[in-house]
Structure 1
């Protein structure tokens, strides 16, 4: 029977990675759903793909999180696939919907699905923040003005005294000074 791959991503490099995995899994055709927003609800390519499929054909995805962004919509999709007698294969999780799975296995897959969704949303948020110019991570201990002042004071004072004055550790002070000199 025919095996068709489905890719849904907001990150372009993931398209290549998922394509390689799906081709290795034996997919003859791959549908790609690429969007800029993590919350895209209308999965047009997925609907088109399901409409063209026949009994006993297989949809292959790399992870369950590719199909849906919520447990509810995943269950609805699984119901549609079951009605149309379409088999679902999740390559990275070794899951095939036509096989018999224990409750523990299904719960494990659902927990893994929820974790994948969290990671995907976090990665998208970080990517969006970087693109908008926001600095990620902990804020610096010293401002640019304080670093310049520290460099000025360093000519007449020790690093330890200057660090105490700005209420930071000596290594933190020296690291900020070194970064300032590198960027200048």
Structure 2
């Protein structure tokens, strides 16, 4: 009798945990912008630079514990550099915010909207979506992993598709060691 009661208790606890986890991972979950981080890294012939971009808002959508949608709005006015200090840091940040790059006065936000999501394994997804930078929307595909209330994604973006052409050898000749590669990386560590 005691063994049956103990087994029923264990089953009840497991059912409660499963139910709680499933309920937690249903619906729209707001991204916690202060706890989340997006790191950018750009490459040039002579090296690279990196920094962070703030998230303005975002949600991830779940059905039966599976990722089914999402939208993230980036605050482009917050773009900053983390590998330099002083005058050079200030100059680079100003240049990134100028019309040569992201034109943040006219385009203060960028947006990523998930369109199609395919589960590729436990906690991992292949996502196709639309990325808008400088008012230009293009399709993008990337991988995302989700563990509990955290998500991680890595994106490789061709900046020239969004009219960010400064220092691109695809548009300018004789740049030599001043050339900046067209692709840059974003790594997002999100909490929701």
**Normalization by structure 1: what TM-score?**
0.21
**Normalization by structure 2: what TM-score?**
0.20
**As a proportion of its length, which structure holds more helix?**
1
- Choose between structure 1 and 2 for higher RCO, CA contacts under 8 A separated by at least 6 residues: 2
**As a proportion of its length, which structure holds more strand?**
2
